[in-house]
């Protein structure tokens, strides 16, 4: 049973506004969080991660890890930001093991696009962000906490 305790919904008018929402979430992350990003192709998942990585102090370029499957962005805080995109995977396999390891690391923040193949391994307590296009450049972002640790972050986000 999954209790969706608390949620926050916001509409963004363009990619930079989506990055700005991510930048608001960034300072709340302490390590150990898993963020699942859900949308259709081109919804804005990678755009959200760009905003997150930049706000966490990563100065490099964040592109879609669709072909590399995962990227690791070292952060000035000493934490690592792991960015997975399982779209091209056929089975979770060894990537699933690596993902599980990263999600269990309290010195890492793990974000996942197309997490379906690994759904059984995702932590029960995570942040789920659903992105829905509501116009050409408009997206509705629905941020849901699926457990108490995440709920605490989203609760603050609401204030």
The least distance separating ligand ADP from the CB of residue 103, rounded to whole angstroms, comes to 20
Nearer to ligand ADP, 34 or 46 (CB): 46
| 43 is a site residue for ligand ADP (CB under 6 A) | yes
Q: Which is nearer to ligand ADP, 43 or 153 (CB)?
A: 43
Cα–Cα distance measured from residue 28 to residue 41, given in angstroms and rounded to the nearest whole number: 27
Nearer to ligand ADP among residue 17 and residue 151 (C-beta): 17
Q: Which of 142, 150, 121, 124 is nearest to 44 (CA)?
A: 142
Output phi, psi for 52, to 5 deg.
Answer: -65, -50
82 binds, among Mg ion, ligand ADP, none (CB under 5 to 8 A by kind): none
Q: Which of 39, 71, 144, 150 binds ligand ADP (CB under 6 A)?
A: 39
Measured between alpha carbons, how far is residue 130 from residues 57, 73, 78, 79, 107 in Å?
A: 24, 23, 28, 25, 25
């Amino acid at each position: 049973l999954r209790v969706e305790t608390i949620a926050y919904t916001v509409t963004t008018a363009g990619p930079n506004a989506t990055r700005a929402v991510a930048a608001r979430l960034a300072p709340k992350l302490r390590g150990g969080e898993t963020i699942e990003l859900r949308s259709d192709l081109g919804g804005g998942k990678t755009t959200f991660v760009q905003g997150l990585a930049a706000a966490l102090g990563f100065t490099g370029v964040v592109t879609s890890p669709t072909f590399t499957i995962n990227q690791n962005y070292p952060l000035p805080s000493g934490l690592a930001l792991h960015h997975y995109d399982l779209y091209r995977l056929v089975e979770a396999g060894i990537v699933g093991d690596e993902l599980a390891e990263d999600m269990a690391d309290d010195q890492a923040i793990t974000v996942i696009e197309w997490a379906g193949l690994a759904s059984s391994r995702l932590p029960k307590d995570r942040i789920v962000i659903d992105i829905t296009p509501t116009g050409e450049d408009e997206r509705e972002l629905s941020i849901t906490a699926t457990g108490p640790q995440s709920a605490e972050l989203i609760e603050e986000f609401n204030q």
